[in-house]
Amino acid sequence: MAKLAAIGTLSLAAIQAAHALVVPETAVPNQAPLGATDEVTALIKGDAMGPHHLDDDIASAESFFNAVSSIRGHIHDDFSQAVADLIGLGYTGDLGTGGSADDDDDGHHHKDHHHHPKHPHDGDSSYTIYELISKSKYTTKFAKLVDEHPHVVDVLNSTKANYTLFVPIDKAFEDIPEDHKKPSKEFIESALLYHVGLGEYPARRILHSYTLPTALDEDLLGGEPQRLRASVGLGGVKLNFYSKVVAADIAAKNGIIHAVNHILVPPPYVGRIITLFPDRFSTLLLAYEKTDFVKFIHGVNLKGSTVFVPTNEAFHWLGPRANTFLFNTDKGREYLKAILKYNIAPNATLYTDAFYDETDSKQKQNSPVHESRIEHYDLPTLLGEAHISVDISRIFGFASIKVNGFTRVVVPNGVAKNGVIQVVNRVPLPPHKGHGGHQSENDGGIEIEDLISRLEDWV
């Protein structure tokens, strides 16, 4: 495709930005308030997350999503079934044009320009997004689906607002199981709207965005737009870990089009996502099981949430005494349940670059306090009065998130249907009473007495 060059430029810009910022790791104190090195290392290595778990996190996320996206073999759960259903749609009915010509995506189509001076892939701001994808021979399958959904046609053809469409190329519809069942019309419409970003996000802007809002309004987020997660690496820009931008900045009258290589599926529930990564979160899953937490959480009415999800390593850090107490004693399990509640901020969905505040105390307590480049949030938790604090620091457009002062968010902004997942490298605990301070780091784990004194008010 003619616009592939734009991706090269984008990666180069990312690399240059990163090189300009690189500082030797040893030169930066452990608790550097701005976390610049982490972010820069992450950027170089391929994603906006901390360096320690970076490679594994990316590898596990990618291998999972690649497996889902290129479904071959049997489908083992409803999420991949949903993906399969959607992908399968491309092969129902008449496919029209396209087909094998799409195998050539390295720019050999330039000769078309003689016949079509307004070739859609060069963009043309006298056509709407809808008109451009309808004309393009690379996007016939997505365009066909859009045509079956008048509301989506209206959105993409409207000039009352600007949008950013992430259009899956026909190739994205290729990997399908033979025996898909037809998904509901509602599901397909949601999925189509999830490809539409609200506002104009040219590649330059995506480079500095962590999430972006879509035209899919989500009741379970209080009616706010569901968001797409963006990450930048050497391979270019990826959405939700698995869909790569393969052509960028195609201009339209009502916005911008980027082409992506995998279909974007609206994200599943927080709980579902956690179960998809047992090698990362098996301890947390065990904690949920031991405390009958699923039953508890189903009884809570939520309009979105921020779920701080500790890795297995985070639990390990609590030390053997604390873990034995929490997991293997009746008394301890009550404390474990309190910890799990403390790690959920109800009705408050906090992304690196957006905050959906559906709490009662809106504005009064939860509007961020801006101190230079740090945004501070004080979020309610399911423990009632015990709040959790979140600091988002930004430097040169790169952000890092810290919880209760020092706990790092190592994988930010896992978008979910009913909230957002912030993966943390320590188990967040309420601060010590009376100190108003934050929990402190200690390699030997945490004393049971300390755990009890911090949590006993809520057990």
Ligand X SMILES: *[C@@H]1O[C@H](CO)[C@@H](O)[C@H](O)[C@H]1NC(C)=O
Binding site for ligand X (CB under 6 A): 128, 153, 157, 159-162, 200, 300-303, 346-347, 358
Separation of CA 288 from chain center: 23
Q: Are 423 and 274 in contact (CB under 8 A)?
A: no
- Strands 419-424, 305-310: pairing kind: parallel
- Strands 374-381, 369-371: pairing kind: antiparallel
Indicate the residue among 346 and 414 with the shorter CB distance to ligand X. 346
For residue 435, the tally of other CB atoms under 10 A from its CB is 9
Q: Look at residue 127 and give its three-state secondary structure.
A: coil
For the CB of residue 66, give the shortest distance to ligand X in the complex, in Å.
35
Indicate the residue among 265 and 302 with the shorter CB distance to ligand X. 302
Indicate the residue among 152 and 263 with the shorter CB distance to ligand X. 152
Indicate the residue among 59 and 300 with the shorter CB distance to ligand X. 300
CA-closest candidate to residue 240, choices 224, 258, 220, 263: 263
C-alpha pair distances (Å), 224 with each of 137, 147, 408, 444: 34, 25, 27, 43
The residue count of the chain comes to 459
For the CB of residue 300, give the shortest distance to ligand X in the complex, in Å.
6
As given in the structure block, the two tokens for residue 449 are 């007495």
Indicate the residue among 297 and 429 with the shorter CB distance to ligand X. 297
Indicate the residue among 144 and 303 with the shorter CB distance to ligand X. 303
Rounded-to-integer distance, Cα 425 and Cα 314, Å? 5
For the CB of residue 452, give the shortest distance to ligand X in the complex, in Å.
25
Indicate the residue among 111 and 160 with the shorter CB distance to ligand X. 160
For the CB of residue 132, give the shortest distance to ligand X in the complex, in Å.
11
Q: Which residue do the tokens 């689906």 mark?
A: 145
For the CB of residue 418, give the shortest distance to ligand X in the complex, in Å.
12
Indicate the residue among 31 and 159 with the shorter CB distance to ligand X. 159
Q: For 310-352, give the secondary structure using H, E and C.
A: ECHHHHHHCCHHHHHHHHHCHHHHHHHHHHHHHCEEECEEEEC
The sign of the CA dihedral 108, 111, 115, 120 is positive
Q: Are 415 and 300 in contact (CB under 8 A)?
A: no
Q: Could you tell me the end-to-end alpha-carbon distance of the chain, in angstroms, rounded to an integer?
A: 60
For the CB of residue 131, give the shortest distance to ligand X in the complex, in Å.
6
Indicate the residue among 148 and 358 with the shorter CB distance to ligand X. 358
Rounded-to-integer distance, Cα 428 and Cα 381, Å? 11
For the CB of residue 343, give the shortest distance to ligand X in the complex, in Å.
14
For the CB of residue 268, give the shortest distance to ligand X in the complex, in Å.
21
Rounded-to-integer distance, Cα 36 and Cα 396, Å? 9
For the CB of residue 366, give the shortest distance to ligand X in the complex, in Å.
12
Q: Please name every residue paired with 354 in a beta bridge, in sequence order, or none if there are none.
A: 351
Q: Please name every residue paired with 374 in a beta bridge, in sequence order, or none if there are none.
A: 371, 393
For the CB of residue 108, give the shortest distance to ligand X in the complex, in Å.
31
For the CB of residue 117, give the shortest distance to ligand X in the complex, in Å.
19
Indicate the residue among 250 and 318 with the shorter CB distance to ligand X. 250
As given in the structure block, the two tokens for residue 45 are 């290595």
As given in the structure block, the two tokens for residue 141 are 């399958």
Indicate the residue among 176 and 257 with the shorter CB distance to ligand X. 257
Indicate the residue among 200 and 378 with the shorter CB distance to ligand X. 200
For the CB of residue 317, give the shortest distance to ligand X in the complex, in Å.
28
Rounded-to-integer distance, Cα 196 and Cα 80, Å? 22
Q: Are 259 and 245 in contact (CB under 8 A)?
A: yes
Separation of CA 235 from chain center: 18
Q: Look at residue 294 and give its three-state secondary structure.
A: helix
